[in-house]
Amino acid sequence: MQLDQSNNATREPSEVVSRYLEAIYYMWAEKEPLRSARLADWLGVSRPTVAVGLRRMARDGLVRMNGRKEIELTTNGMGAAESIVRRHRIMERWLTDGLGLDWVTADTEAARLEHAVSEVVEQRLYEVLGRPATCPHGNPIPGHSQNSPGELMLSALKAGDSVTITRVSEVAEREAPLLLAYLHQRDLTPGRDVTVLETDEVGKTLRVRAGDRDVTLSYQTASKVWAVGIGA
C-alpha cells in the first residue's frame, strides 16, 4: 500500500472513523486486498454505508482509492491508524498482564476502552507494563516493534518442520473469536514450539505436536498462525 501525503490538518478521528482506520490497518498488515466490499464484511455493515464512510475519510485526507479500486491510507491516515492500533494493543497487554483477563475477553474490552484512553495514559501504561513489544496475540505494537523476520504461516510448513509460534493473525483476532479460544485452549500461542508431524494435502489438514499433545488443524486455521524456524 502506498502512502499519499495529505496537506489536511491532522485531527482526532471519531469512533466510527477509528473503526474504519483500524480495520483497514489490519487488512493492510495481513496483506489482504483493500477493497470496500471486504471492508464492509469486516465491519459488519452494508457496502453503501462503507462507500459513504470512505468518501468522508477521503475528504478528510485519511484515505484515497488507487487505480485498482483499492483503499490506500494517506500519511495522515496511516499515522492515525497506527495510533489507534498501538493504544488497542497496549490496552490488551494491561487487561491480560495486569488484570488477568483471557486474551479473547481482553481483545473485546480493549476495543471498548481504546477510544477513551488519552496519549498520556497510553504512554504511562506502556512504561508500567515494561515496554511490551507485542499484544498478547504476538502482533507488534506500532511505533515500538515490527513483525519477526522470516515468518511463515503454519499452513506453509512441511512434515518435520519445527517452529516457534510468533503471532496469531489479526483476521482471527477480530473476525473469529471462537478460533482465538480454540488456539488458546490448545496452547497454540506465541512462544510455543511446535513440530509438524504430518500434512494431508487431500484433506487440507496438518497435525502438529505442541508440548505433550498432538493437534490437527485445517489449513484455514493454520493460515491464521505465524511462526519462525527454531533458532532463526
pLDDT in tens, 41-87: 888 899 999 999 999 999 999 999 988 889 999 999 999 999 999 99
- Work out the average pLDDT over 4-18: 64
What are the residues whose beta carbons fall under 8 Å from the beta carbon of 98, sequence distance 6 or more? 129
- Residue 88 confidence (pLDDT): 93
d(CA 88, CA 125) in angstroms, rounded, equals: 12
pLDDT-derived band at 8, boundaries 50, 70, 90? very low
- Work out the average pLDDT over 108-136: 91
d(CA 143, CA 44) in angstroms, rounded, equals: 29
With CA atoms as reference, report the closest residue to 134 among 182, 102, 86, 179: 86
Domains of the chain with bracketed CATH: 1-146 (1.10.10.10), 152-229 (2.30.30.90)
With CA atoms as reference, report the closest residue to 217 among 175, 173, 168, 147: 168
For the chain, what percent of residues have pLDDT higher than 90? 60
d(CA 219, CA 179) in angstroms, rounded, equals: 13
Strand partners, 178: none
The residue type at 96:
T
φ, ψ of residue 114 to 5 degrees: the values are -60, -30
Q: What is the pLDDT of residues 150-197, one digit of tens each?
A: 899 999 999 999 999 999 987 766 666 678 888 888 889 999 999 999
Pull the grid cell for residue 191: 512462544
d(CA 73, CA 57) in angstroms, rounded, equals: 10
CB atoms within 10 A of CB 51: 13
